[in-house]
Amino acid sequence: MLAAALTLISCGKDLNDSDETFEAFLNKPSYSPKPGMIWDIYPVEFLFVVTDARGNDLFDESTPDNWLSKPFSATFEGQEFLWPKTATKAYFARLMGFYIYPKSYTLSDVVVLRFGELDGTKTWDTDLKISWPDGSRDVIRLQHAFRWDISGDPETYTGFKVNGVPIEGRLIRLTK
C-alpha cells in the first residue's frame, strides 16, 4: 500500500489543495511583493515515512534490521545523493540530499526521512528517483511554482505524484 505527499511550508497562500492545475498556475501573471514587506519563503522538501509490511519504521534505530546504515540513493535533476551521509545543523535553502528528523523533532511516533531543500521561489517540474536498500525504486514527480498575487502576497502551487499516482496530504508514506 502506498500513500504519499510532499511537504511545502511557506508564508502566503499554498494552492496545493486547490483544484487548480500546475499549468494553469504557471499561466497566471506574477506581480511584485507588497512594498516594505519581507517574506521568508520556505524551501520545498520531500518528507518520507518508510515502513515494512508489519508497520515497523525502517528509519527508527529501535527497529531490527532498520535502514539507517544501509546504503541507498536518490537522483534529482541528474545529481545522485547517497545515504548514509553526515548531517549539519546549518539552515540554507540548498539541495543537501537526505536527513533524518527523529521522533523527538517531529513530536510523533515516526522517524521522518527528509530530502531537500529546494528553493521555494523557483519553478520545479522534475522527478526524484529513489533506489531503496531492498532493491525497490520509487519516482516522485514534483510540480511547484511560486508567484506574487495581485495584492503582493506570495502564492504557491505544489503538486506531486508517486510512481505516476497523484497524492494528497503532507507526508509521503511508503510501505516496503
Look at residue 5 in the predicted model and tell me its pLDDT: 34
Encode pLDDT of 23-73 as tens digits.
Answer: 888 898 998 888 888 887 778 888 888 999 999 999 998 999 999 889 999
Closest CA to 33 of 152, 115, 126, 122: 152
Give me the DSSP letters along 127-161.
EEEEE-TTS-EEEEEEEEEEEE-TTS-EEEEEEEE
The residue segments making up the domain with residue 19 are 2-175
Question: Bigger pLDDT: 139 or 116?
Answer: 139
Q: Which three cell numbers stand for residue 118?
A: 529546494
What is the phi/psi pair of residue 104, to 5°? -65, -30
* pTM beyond 0.75, yes or no: no
Look at residue 45 in the predicted model and tell me its pLDDT: 84
Q: From CA 108, how far away is CA 127, in angstroms rounded?
A: 28
Look at residue 16 in the predicted model and tell me its pLDDT: 60
Give me the DSSP letters along 24-71.
HHHTS---PPPTT-----PPEEEEEEEE-TT--BTT-TTSTT-STTS-
Count of domains observed in the chain: 1
Look at residue 55 in the predicted model and tell me its pLDDT: 93
- Place 4 in a pLDDT band, splitting at 50, 70 and 90: very low
Mean pLDDT across the chain: 82
Give me the DSSP letters along 2-32.
EE---EE--SSEEGGGSS--HHHHHTS---P
> Strand, helix or coil at 107?
coil
Question: Bigger pLDDT: 169 or 3?
Answer: 169
The H or E element that residue 171 is part of is: none
Encode pLDDT of 67-109 as tens digits.
Answer: 988 999 999 999 888 888 655 443 445 677 898 887 777 667 8
Look at residue 8 in the predicted model and tell me its pLDDT: 34
Q: From CA 147, how far away is CA 30, in angstroms rounded?
A: 5
